[in-house]
């Protein structure tokens, strides 16, 4: 895309993006039997503190913003498609997100879209003209980090009690801290 001209003959800008996991990044996880899981009802769905300001900062920096989420409870029959649609709608109404992608499969389905595979990121990059090597993946699990690495993105792990051992390019306590890091990197570390 770099060097392509638009209809006015100007060089087209390279699109950079931030891919955000949903549960544990955009909204709070639900702890079940000591494990972090996705909300299964709208009554369990709550945004993480500070998410709106952090996402607005990323959008103001000129980044495309995408939510990419594994939702295996759909395949397991524990989550209704209408509930996922309602949660997606709540995200799209509240935040300046360009698109949301959901993988409805379980591990046994062996699909290309379920993280740790990079399918959702690659599909969105193709659709929106995003350069993956200039983009970022923010998540709270090793699967998010592996998907980001496989796609060629820089990875940022949000520190949670349940992900201490997961590897990432960067670790930050909050989405606001991750947004500040990305803006700093885009500004050349200034």
- Bridge-based pairing state of the strands 64-70 and 17-20: parallel
Which of 4, 21, 73, 140 is an active site residue?
21
The DSSP result for 65-91, as a single string, is EEEEEE-TTTTTTSS-HHHHHHHHHHH
Query: Which one of 2, 8, 23, 169 is the catalytic residue?
Result: 23
CB 101 within 8 A of CB 123: yes
With beta carbons less than 8 A apart as the criterion, state whether 150 and 164 touch: no
Check if the beta carbon of residue 65 is closer than 8 Å to that of residue 56: no
| Tally of CB atoms within 10 A around 170 | 15
Q: Residue 23 catalytic?
A: yes
Tokens of 57: 């900062």
Question: How many Å apart are CA 33 and CA 55, to the nearest integer?
Answer: 31
State yes or no: is 8 an active-site residue: no
Phi/psi at 18 (nearest 5 deg)?
-120, 125
Q: Measured between alpha carbons, how far is 1 from 52 in angstroms, rounded to an integer?
A: 30
User: Which residues are part of the catalytic machinery?
Assistant: 21, 23
């Amino acid at each position: 895309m770099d060097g392509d001209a638009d209809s006015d003959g100007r060089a087209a800008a390279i699109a950079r993006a931030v891919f955000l996991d949903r549960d544990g990044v955009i909204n709070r996880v639900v702890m079940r039997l000591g494990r972090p899981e996705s909300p299964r009802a709208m009554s369990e769905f709550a945004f993480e503190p500070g998410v709106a300001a952090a996402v607005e900062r990323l959008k103001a920096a000129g980044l495309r913003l995408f939510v990419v989420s594994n939702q295996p409870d759909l395949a397991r029959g524990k989550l209704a498609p209408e509930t996922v649609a309602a949660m997606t709608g709540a995200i799209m109404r509240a935040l300046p997100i360009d698109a949301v992608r959901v993988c409805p499969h379980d591990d046994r389905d062996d699909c290309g879209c379920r993280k740790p595979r990079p399918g959702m990121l690659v599909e969105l990059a193709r659709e929106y003209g995003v350069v993956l090597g200039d983009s970022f993946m923010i998540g709270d699990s090793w699967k998010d980090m592996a998907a980001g690495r496989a796609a060629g993105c820089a990875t940022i792990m949000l520190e949670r009690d349940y992900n201490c051992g997961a590897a990432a390019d960067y670790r930050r306590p909050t989405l606001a801290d991750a947004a500040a890091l990305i803006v700093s990197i885009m500004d050349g570390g200034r």
